[in-house]
A and B are shown apart, each in its own frame.
Chain A
């Protein structure tokens, strides 16, 4: 039985569709309206406000906090500056990904970590010998994601943070009306956006302040259905959809290394020991089996398949997340991988997917075939490999009056 987030009084009053799902043991809105499209367009053209309280949250404090996190994460957290945020994953000794999340350096010796699965037990296995305190604050801290082009203008109204100068993947403590918040310029939409963290007791006040400030900027509460479309457009992978937690995966075939998830860029190999280092070094040397790629699915061919049945293309506005075979040729003789999620992208006007394929086929521009079921019959259509990051607007990383800056 899920529990209610501190924003439930507001989200439930607004959720006209009664369309909820379970997210990490919380009730979470799938879409506020019967159709999620307006929420999607809010993310892309104005601002969407999403309750992200169900993320697991940890505070890591102490003189060895950076060393401890560097031991766990594939990234060297020593290098993370105060006020900066890092997207990372963490691995088993075999170099298989357990989960991914963000690490935010709030002070020299204080970090804030988010994860999708509960991580306390895993993290605490490595506390030994480090002068550090690990605290789970999942149920004490609430979170909101305010994402979209007008998000900065809205957030400016309710807190004193210098948002014009807050860079992409940075975080800052700020004062709202009578309480403190942490703002980070992060999100899961691949757009300009912020995540705001607040003590539970001020959650409703924060929600009200943002919604009220957002009125003139077309803010809209948004649910997970809209988020799912944006995250596929942004090429952001999702645990339990595009990969599985190695601790819970029943078979090795369901486990993935960071390289296989195309997260090799997050791995800092040559440094003090960290979990999975030896295995990842070996994999780096010998090559990986898989890669996650973007697929740009051929529209004219899809349209002609529907036309064959006398139908216009019927493609829902929801992102899908089922496993779909990917072949190297139309005769389906060799399956090189599988797509795990996909969507029609309203902003790109493209039919896109994220797929796991054999490394040798990962090159951008390669043509593979993806299975498509049209009117109960299975066909394949061409799918061109592209960067998973289909949508990457300049505003995501830029600051007013300055050059784009990562």
Chain B
């Protein structure tokens, strides 16, 4: 078969689908090839137990770019996101802290721990809103290369510079702190209460192999603050039907513009002729020819598996091998026969309809990291849990619920070696259930089914190398014009006609769609397609 495509996209994750939609909308002939039977990559919904639809990996959304929703008419294609009202922190001593969209309610809650913090909290929100504006200028455009003097790069840089300048000196200084400090040091600039700081600081470590006291984590914190739902900065929400709902909306949009999508079509490798990408070879041996190939896979897979070391220059190979993945988290999804009831705040009230953090203190979080440093999963991990069925009853049978737990730290490289993770999978699952059961006494009796995903499983199932949920750590040296590598950022690779559009490109992980969009735009504006 040799139907000629303008582009073949390897991987039907949300970025691949967004990229496909933009290219198809511009009139290009696009084929998306997904290895699995289901689309979405890590933003995927699957019925793992009869009647229960899990957001298997990625589970909440905030960062998805609003202009992509408009451009691709995603609302028409089933993009539905329901904002969360609360962030809940149960504490081991029977106390708890709930932060609400209602500012006075939050103030009263926080004041029980620190009156000062309760009043500074809105000021922090104001500053982060300003930072979010900056973030928007950063993530909605290809990252300007500060080492280049090409007019286009300079104008990009200038635009970014203007946004910076508009922040004013105070916020600029703060921004410098943000990229260099630890999440905790950054929060210390405002707050005194550990009970407040711990659940805020965790935004700085999600998906990284760092602790809340590690320098650089303040930036990751901002990354999680950049979100925007319905015009409101910083808000997070549930995707109706699970996060796969977003991927499916992107897929339908892509198809409506004429893109072709095939599932269960695993790609063996990129077809390279005379140094150029000319198509792909499927695992079944079929060759499909295309003018360009776009990889939605992470940088490691793209370069080392799809291309192969023999096609790589030595410097590129070195850089790719040094690219930090270091998955640090796992996922435990539970099907429950009832609403989980927290002993510190019983009932199925609004407090458990948002996100629930197991992050009782800074030391708790740091100890959890300590174990990971030496190749063990945390015996008392940081957990970010949600019960999406309280907001979206379509995910489970009536009266039944899903407790979805994001768990950190679970280092990919356990000391026995990553390939031994399957032996520890159930023990890891038990740890998570035991931890949650300390806050939800009836939890164990209510579990109908348990799905445990270690970083090893995320790699095997989702193709996330080393189980890194962001296709590579969000540390400063791997961001902006250095994402994934300094010599080949901006969605290009070292192989002509091979592009990248996944989370391993600027602006990075989370369900944003930005990589997919920016890759498509870069290709179109440079007339590469």
Contact B115 A248 (CB under 8 A): no
Chain B 481-519 interface residues, beta-carbon cutoff 8 Å to A: none
Verify if A1 is at the interface (C-beta below 8 Å from B): yes
A24 to B102, CA, bound (A): 11
For B104, give its contact among A22, A121, A122, A247 (CB under 8 Å).
A22
Cβ distance B495 to chain A, nearest Cβ, rounded Å? 46
- The segment out of B66-74, B117-125, B218-226, B384-392 that lies at the interface is B117-125
Verify if B130 is at the interface (C-beta below 8 Å from A): yes
Contact B123 A248 (CB under 8 A): yes
Residue of B nearest to A125 (CB): B116
Contact B119 A25 (CB under 8 A): no
Verify if B129 is at the interface (C-beta below 8 Å from A): yes
A313 to B216, CA, bound (A): 63
B interface secondary structure, majority: helix
For A248, give its contact among B102, B107, B122 (CB under 8 Å).
B122
A250 to B107, CA, bound (A): 19
Q: Please give, as numbers and ranges, the residues of chain A lying within 8 Å of B126 by CB-CB distance.
A: 247-250
Contact B123 A2 (CB under 8 A): no
Residue of A nearest to B114 (CB): A121
Contact A121 B115 (CB under 8 A): yes
Verify if B159 is at the interface (C-beta below 8 Å from A): no
For A250, give its contact among B104, B105, B115, B129 (CB under 8 Å).
B129
A22 to B100, CA, bound (A): 15
Cβ distance A98 to chain B, nearest Cβ, rounded Å? 11
Given contacts A121-B120, A247-B123, A250-B129, contact A24 B104 (CB under 8 A): yes
Cβ distance A108 to chain B, nearest Cβ, rounded Å? 27
Contact B104 A25 (CB under 8 A): yes
Q: Please give, as numbers and ranges, the residues of chain B lying within 8 Å of A119 by CB-CB distance.
A: 119
Residue of A nearest to B168 (CB): A252
A301 to B126, CA, bound (A): 43
Contact B119 A121 (CB under 8 A): yes
Contact A124 B122 (CB under 8 A): no
Contact B105 A124 (CB under 8 A): no
Verify if B36 is at the interface (C-beta below 8 Å from A): no
Given contacts A1-B102, A124-B116, A250-B130, contact A118 B107 (CB under 8 A): yes
A249 to B104, CA, bound (A): 17
Verify if B521 is at the interface (C-beta below 8 Å from A): no
Verify if B425 is at the interface (C-beta below 8 Å from A): no
Verify if A3 is at the interface (C-beta below 8 Å from B): yes
Cβ distance B427 to chain A, nearest Cβ, rounded Å? 41
A121 to B116, CA, bound (A): 4
Verify if A64 is at the interface (C-beta below 8 Å from B): no
Q: Number of A interface residues, CB 8 Å?
A: 17
Chain B 95-116 interface residues, beta-carbon cutoff 8 Å to A: 100, 102, 104-105, 107-108, 115-116
A3 to B109, CA, bound (A): 12
Verify if A110 is at the interface (C-beta below 8 Å from B): no
Residue of B nearest to A249 (CB): B126
Given contacts A1-B102, A248-B126, contact A120 B115 (CB under 8 A): yes
Cβ distance A60 to chain B, nearest Cβ, rounded Å? 15
Chain A 232-275 interface residues, beta-carbon cutoff 8 Å to B: 247-250
Chain B 16-42 interface residues, beta-carbon cutoff 8 Å to A: none
Residue of A nearest to B127 (CB): A250
Residue of B nearest to A121 (CB): B119
Task: Map CB proximity to B onto A1-22 as digits: 1 under 8 Å, 0 otherwise.
Answer: 1110000000000000000001
Cβ distance B250 to chain A, nearest Cβ, rounded Å? 32
Q: Please give, as numbers and ranges, the residues of chain A lying within 8 Å of B120 by CB-CB distance.
A: 121
Residue of A nearest to B106 (CB): A25
Residue of A nearest to B100 (CB): A1
Cβ distance B353 to chain A, nearest Cβ, rounded Å? 14
A103 to B445, CA, bound (A): 58
Contact B119 A2 (CB under 8 A): no
Verify if A136 is at the interface (C-beta below 8 Å from B): yes
A24 to B118, CA, bound (A): 14
Given contacts A248-B126, A250-B126, contact A25 B105 (CB under 8 A): yes
Cβ distance A253 to chain B, nearest Cβ, rounded Å? 13
Which residue of A3, A120, A121, A248 has the most chain B CB atoms within 10 A of its CB atom?
A121
Chain A 355-399 interface residues, beta-carbon cutoff 8 Å to B: none
Residue of B nearest to A245 (CB): B122
A136 to B108, CA, bound (A): 13
Task: Map CB proximity to B onto A77-108 as digits: 1 under 8 Å, 0 otherwise.
Answer: 00000000000000000000000000000000
A120 to B120, CA, bound (A): 10
Residue of A nearest to B121 (CB): A121
Q: Please give, as numbers and ranges, the residues of chain A lying within 8 Å of B119 by CB-CB distance.
A: 118-122
Given contacts A121-B120, A250-B130, contact A2 B115 (CB under 8 A): no
Q: Please give, as numbers and ranges, the residues of chain B lying within 8 Å of A124 by CB-CB distance.
A: 116
Cβ distance A139 to chain B, nearest Cβ, rounded Å? 9
Contact A3 B122 (CB under 8 A): no
A391 to B100, CA, bound (A): 41
A120 to B117, CA, bound (A): 10
Cβ distance A61 to chain B, nearest Cβ, rounded Å? 17
Residue of B nearest to A54 (CB): B104
Contact A25 B123 (CB under 8 A): no
Contact B116 A25 (CB under 8 A): no
CB-defined A-B contacts under 8 Å, sample of 5: A118-B107, A118-B119, A121-B119, A122-B119, A247-B122
Sorted nearest first, the 4 A-B pairs with minimum C-beta distance are: A25-B104, A121-B119, A121-B116, A118-B119
Given contacts A2-B105, A22-B104, 9 further A-B contacts (CB under 8 A): A1-B105, A3-B108, A24-B104, A121-B117, A136-B115, A247-B123, A248-B123, A250-B126, A250-B129
